[in-house]
Amino acid sequence: MKEIKKEIIKKEYTYQYESFDGNLWNTKEECERYEKSAEGVLKLKFQELIVDKRDAWDLMRGYEDNDVIGVKLTKEEDKDTVLQLYLFLNPHLLNESERYKEYLEQYRSYINEAFENKDLLLMGINCEGDYYFIGLRNKFIENLKNFGKPVKPEKK
């Protein structure tokens, strides 16, 4: 008698569902719930404003696991979309502390200035998917042009 060994390879598949922003979900229902949620709706509207996305290391030698996005604001409601999404993801900024008020005012000024000057608003996305403000593209370029030049002391 001769023993014959045969290899049987079985393939097994699992399915995941990808939402519009690249997040993966284990069930279709979870994915649909996310896409219909306030966060999903805001992120979809926000995603339409992004004109470029680059690895932070390649662009500015920033953190290699972060991205830098360019956000173009062409309508008044675009300003609202950016602020609404940011506040939805960072509700602590609505706290009454002076520190948070200052941050929020700075972010509002970035948004307004980008809109008024038709400039790109630069934002970052860290390795955990959190968004943060960098500033305006032209202001960033201007700062680099002046880097190394003597700084005039502020008058008091």
Residue type, 116: E
Domain count, the chain: 1
Q: Three-class SS of residue 75?
A: coil
Residues spanned by the domain of 141 = 46-146
Higher pLDDT, 75 or 156: 75
Residue 153 lies in a domain: no
Structure tokens at 40: 């999903």
Residue 17 lies in a domain: no
Task: Report the pLDDT value the prediction gives residue 63, as an integer from 0 to 100.
Answer: 80
Whole-angstrom Cα distance, residue 127 to residue 64?
9
Instruction: Give the pLDDT confidence of 37-86 residue by residue, as tens digits.
Output: 999 999 999 999 999 999 998 888 778 899 999 999 999 999 999 999 99
Please, what is the end-to-end C-alpha distance for the chain in angstroms? 102
pTM for the full predicted model: 0.79
Percent of the residues in the chain that have a pLDDT greater than 90, as a whole number: 69
Residue 108 lies in a domain: yes
Q: What is the 3 state secondary structure string of 29-58?
A: HHHHHHHHCHHHHHHHHHHCCEEEEEEHHH
Residue 15 lies in a domain: no
